[in-house]
Amino acid sequence: MDKLKYFFAIFFLFVSLVSTVALGRPLPRKSVPLSADLLIVGGTVVTMGEDRRVIDNGAVAIKGGKIVAVGKRVEIAKQYRAKETINATGKAVIPGLINTHTHVPMSLFRGIADDLDLQEWLTKYIFPAEAKNVDEPFVRAGTRLGLAEMIRGGTTTYCDMYYFEDAIADETKKAGMRGVLGETIIDFPVPDNKTWEAGLAYTERFIKKWRNDPLIVPAVAPHAPYTVSQDHLLQARDLSNRLKAPLVFHLAEANTETEFIQQKYQGMRPIEFVEKIGFFNDRTITAHVIQANEAELDLLKKHDVGVGHCPQSNMKLAAGVAPVPMMLKKGMRVGLGTDGAASNNDLSMWEEMDTAAKLHKLNSGDPKALSAEQAFAMATIGGANALHMEKTIGSIEAGKLADIVIVDLDSLNQTPLYNIYSHLVYATKANDVRTVIINGRVVMLNRRLLTLNESAIKRDANAYRTKIIKSLSK
C-alpha cells in the first residue's frame, strides 16, 4: 500500500514537472470554493449602494449574518458554495425595508376610530383605550401582530416608541426582527411608569440590558416637546449621551404643537426651541417634522438629525405636509415611517413609498418633486441614514448585515415590467413579498412565516378586540 502511494506521489511530481517545463506553468489546480451559509442566486439585485448598481441575474452570498459578496450569478456561483441556496430567478432582490417610526402594539387599535381630528381622536379614543387596556400581555400580543405584518411586507428594521418596550424588545428578538426600540417617557403617568423618574430609570435599565444585542438597538424616547418639560428633555439627552443610545422623538408634528411651544417658550417654534436648549445630539431620530421652515431644516442638518417622514399618518390626521423635497436637496437623513397602525391603518412600507412620491408631487405641483427611485431610497438606505445605521444596513453591499428581501415581479398588478424602481414603488404591494432574511436568518420563506404563528396572532388580536370594545363602553 505504502509503495503504491509512493509511486503515485513520484508520478504526480514527474507529470507536473514535465508540464511546467513543457508549458511554462504548473498544471491548473482547481480553486477551492469559498464557503457561505446562504446563497441567493438569480433575480434582479437592486443594491441601493452609492452607485445604485442594479444587477440582472445577480447573486448574493451570506455568511455569519453578513453579506460577503454581491455580483453576477456566474461569478458568485463560481466562487461560493453554501449549505442553503434560494433561487430568486424572475424576482427582485432588495435591501430589507426600514420603517423609521412606529408604535407597534397599537396594531390592536387598528381602525378603533377614524376620520377625526387629532385632539378628538387622541382624547376620546386612543388615551382612554390605552388607559384601560395597555399592559404587558397586550403589548406582547400587539407587537407580535405588528411584527408578522411587517415581516410579511418586507420590513426588516423598525424604529419604535411605546410602553413596556422591554417586552417589545423580547418579542422582536424572538421573531428575528431588527429594531431601534425606545421606551416612551413623558410627563404624565403611563401604563408602566407612573412618574418621569421611574420612566427614566426604566430606560436606563432597558438600555443596559439590550445594548449588546445583535438585533436590538435600545434607545431613549422622550415623547415630544409639548409633553416633556425642558429639564426632562435635557435629562433624556444626557442619558442618550452617557449610554451612547439613540434619542427618538416626535417633533414639529402639528400647528397646535407650534402654538403651544410658542406660548410656553417666548415665541420660539418647536425646532428652534429644542435646538436652543441644546437637545439635539448626533444620534437624534425625529418623526414627522412638518412644521419646519428652511432655517429650521438647516438646524436639523447642522446637528445631523434623522427624520422619519410618515406621509399616510400625516394625511389621515390632516397634520400637514413635511418639506421632504427640500430635506433631500439639503442632503438630510430622511427615511419613511408608517407611524402606529391606529393612525394609518397598516404597517406597509410599500404604501408609504407610493404615497410619499405622489403626495410631494401634488403638494408642489411638480411631478418631478420626488421620483420613484428617491422614494425607494427613502425606504431603504435613507431609512438607515435616518436611524444613523447606514454603515450596517440599508443596502446590499459586501460587509453589511444580511437584511434582504425577495419580491415577486410577476403578479397581475406588476405586469409588464419596464423600470424596476417605478415597479417597486408604484405597482408592488406588500403581498408581493416572498422571502425575508434578517441578519442572515430566513424569517419568511415563500410567504410562510418561520418565526411567528400567524393563526395564534390573529386569534389573540380578535380576543383583544372584544375586550377593547367592552372597556370603551363602560
Chain residues binding Zn ion by CB under 5 A are 339
- Give the residue with the Cβ less far from Zn ion, 169 or 221: 221
All three cell numbers of 246, joined, read 439613540
Q: Give the shortest CB-343-to-Zn ion separation in angstroms.
A: 8
- Cβ(98)–Cβ(379) below 8 Å: yes
Q: Give the shortest CB-252-to-Zn ion separation in angstroms.
A: 13
- Give the residue with the Cβ less far from Zn ion, 275 or 339: 339
Q: Give the shortest CB-312-to-Zn ion separation in angstroms.
A: 12
d(CA 133, CA 111): 16
Q: Give the shortest CB-339-to-Zn ion separation in angstroms.
A: 5
The residue whose grid cell reads 506553468 is 25
Q: Give the shortest CB-150-to-Zn ion separation in angstroms.
A: 16
Residue nearest to Zn ion according to CB distances in the complex: 339
- Cβ(243)–Cβ(230) below 8 Å: no
- Give the residue with the Cβ less far from Zn ion, 183 or 339: 339
- Give the residue with the Cβ less far from Zn ion, 38 or 341: 341
Instruction: Tell me the CA distances in angstroms from 132 to 163, 384, 464, 467, one per residue in order.
Output: 14, 35, 12, 10
- Give the residue with the Cβ less far from Zn ion, 99 or 395: 99
DSSP lists the bridge partners of residue 285 as: 248, 306
Three-state DSSP class for residue 15? helix
Q: Give the shortest CB-103-to-Zn ion separation in angstroms.
A: 6
H-helix or E-strand spanning residue 243: helix 230-243
All three cell numbers of 232, joined, read 426632562
d(CA 55, CA 63): 20
Q: Give the shortest CB-414-to-Zn ion separation in angstroms.
A: 31
- Give the residue with the Cβ less far from Zn ion, 100 or 439: 100
Helices (H) and strands (E) in the chain, counts: 18, 19
- Give the residue with the Cβ less far from Zn ion, 339 or 373: 339
d(CA 239, CA 206): 12
d(CA 453, CA 11): 62
Question: What count of Cα atoms within 13 Å lies in the side-chain half-sphere of residue 82?
Answer: 25
What phi, psi does 444 have (nearest 5°)? -140, 130
